[in-house]
Structure formats: structure tokens, C-alpha cells
Amino acid sequence: MYHPLPGGDEFVELKNITATNVALFDPANLMNTWQFDGIGFTFRTNVMLAPGAFVLLVPSDPTVFRA
């Protein structure tokens, strides 16, 4: 939801649809991590997304977003 209606919550959902871990960084350069400038989020080094797993990136407090 990159452009929600007024009052809506913006978020990005990433889901690993493969059968193997997905690196959210460049294995050849561990300091080169994925980043989402629009919501101001940068993954830490060595973050992997397990098979079938997903993550929600929200630009606000996660507790508020869940509510």
C-alpha cells in the first residue's frame, strides 16, 4: 500500500515465495543492504527471509499500525 487513501496506513509487504532463504543484502558485500527510501527503512546486515515468511515495513509505530 504505497499510496493509501487519506487516513489510511502506508506499508510495504515482502513475502518469500521461494523454497530457500532470500538474503536482504548483497552476499558479496554484506554492508550493501536493501533499503526503502519512501518509508525510510534500511535492513540491517545479514537479514534473511525464510521460505514462506513475510515482513511488513511500516513508517509508523508498529503497535499503532497493528491496532
2-60 per-position pLDDT tens digit:
788 888 888 889 999 999 999 999 989 988 999 988 778 899 999 999 999 999 988 88
Give the integer Cα–Cα distance in Å for 35 and 44: 9
49 phi and psi angles, rounded to 5 deg: -105, 115
Better pLDDT: 28 or 61: 28
SS3 41: strand
| pLDDT of res. 7 | 81
Query: What confidence category does residue 67 fall into, taking pLDDT thresholds of 50, 70 and 90?
Result: confident
Q: Compute how many other C-beta atoms are within 10 angstroms of the C-beta atom of residue 58.
A: 17
2-16 per-position pLDDT tens digit:
788 888 888 889 999
Are 34 and 63 spatial neighbours (Cβ–Cβ below 8 Å)?
A: no
Are 16 and 53 spatial neighbours (Cβ–Cβ below 8 Å)?
A: yes
The pTM (predicted TM-score) of the whole model is 0.74
